[in-house]
Amino acid sequence: MLETTPTPITIVETDFPQKQYLNLTYSIPEEQYEAAYTALAFEDHIGITEGLDEISICYILNSDSLIEEKTKCICKLFTDFNITFKILNKNIITEKNWNKEWEDSINPVYINKSLVITPSWKHETVNAPLKLIINPQMSFGSGHHETTHQMAAFVQEYTQQGTMWIDAGTGTGVLAILAVYCGAKHVFAFDNDEWSVLNTKENIERNVSLPQNSITIKQADVFTVELPKAQGIAANLHKNLIKPNLLRFYDALTPIPPHPAHLLVSGILRYDVEDVIADAVKIGFRHKETRTKGDWVALHFCKDKDSDGNIQH
């Protein structure tokens, strides 16, 4: 969907008359972010910033012709990748301390009274019984988004001592790290994005009290990764990745008496909830709980039968 009316260019004045940058902002549904990042891998941008259903792409502005050249190029890429988009803004901005600006914008997130997710540069300012140090980069999962917020609460509530977990689409590693802090013996975390895998490894190192070798991290695709047996799976993905893999998740889950195994999923919009629940129940899952935050929904399913067909409660 290409905008037909011209978009005005805004020049932002700062106290740093140095390099100039071109910042292009596009409206994109959040469930299409992954496709957008794939499309933009072909571009020579210097950074991407996420907003609410929008992304901004930054370039070094070395000529006036770059503005229309990059606008047309990105529109073609998004069209080729079947991404729904609209041009929101074209800004020319001058150089500043980007790292400080970014750090100042990332605040600690209190999931509840006992759990907070905080970047390392602000961890001394927060106080909670359970404090996760997560430095987000280009990857997803700092706790600010509704889906991560809901999933963190689920993981904290349903992780049992000595259990094995899978973190599907780990992002920053926040759910894997949280599961270990809540008693998981080991977590297998994976993501198809190299940035996410690197970011997760860094965040594991930042949380120095984690038991050594308690998390295995791998770059892998949800459709092809070999899933180990586990008592819990946290899958903060989206409907088109969750639904086709429900049977794979079911087969990987192994209840340990007297407890069922847990599947926690999010990245699902309100209008897709019944569709996901229906498919999961057909496979054999028991739908236990639905939680909603904004337009996003998190679902809790249980697998009640162990490998011998015994029902757990």
The 3 state secondary structure assigned to 238-263 is CHHHHHHHHHHHHHHECCCCCCCEEE
One domain for residues 49 and 140: no
Q: What is the mean pLDDT of the chain?
A: 86
Q: What is the pLDDT of residues 268-311, one digit of tens each?
A: 999 999 999 999 999 999 999 999 998 999 999 999 875 445 55
Q: Is the dihedral of CA 192, 197, 199, 204 positive or negative?
A: positive
- Whether the predicted pLDDT of 125 surpasses 70: yes
- Those residues with Cβ within 8 angstroms of residue 138's Cβ, 6 or more apart along the chain or in another chain: 37, 48, 195, 199
Give the domain extent around 175: 106-303
Residue 313 lies in a domain: no
Beta-ladder partners of 218: 190
Q: What pLDDT score does 17 carry?
A: 47
Q: What is the pLDDT of residues 244-277, one digit of tens each?
A: 999 999 999 999 988 999 999 999 999 999 999 9
One domain for residues 174 and 245: yes
**Angle formed by the axes of helices 174-181 and 194-206, nearest 10°:** 30
SS3 readout for 112-176: ECCEEEECHHHHHHCCCCEEEECCCCCCCCCCCCHHHHHHHHHHHHHCCCCCEEEEECCCCCHHH
The arithmetic mean of pLDDT across residues 94-108, rounded, is: 68
Between CA 193 and CA 34 the distance in angstroms is 9
Q: Among residues 58, 75, 102, which one ends one of the domains? A: 102
One domain for residues 250 and 132: yes
Q: What is the pLDDT of residues 177-198, one digit of tens each?
A: 999 999 999 999 999 989 899 9
Q: Among residues 69, 102, 135, which one ends one of the domains? A: 102
Between CA 144 and CA 172 the distance in angstroms is 12
One domain for residues 40 and 138: no
Burial level of 189, CB count in 10 A (0-12/13-18/19+)?
A: buried
Q: What pLDDT score does 246 carry?
A: 98
CATH code of the domain covering residue 36: 3.30.70.100
Q: What pLDDT score does 137 carry?
A: 67
pLDDT band at 49 (very low <50, low <70, confident <90, very high): confident
Q: What pLDDT score does 8 carry?
A: 47
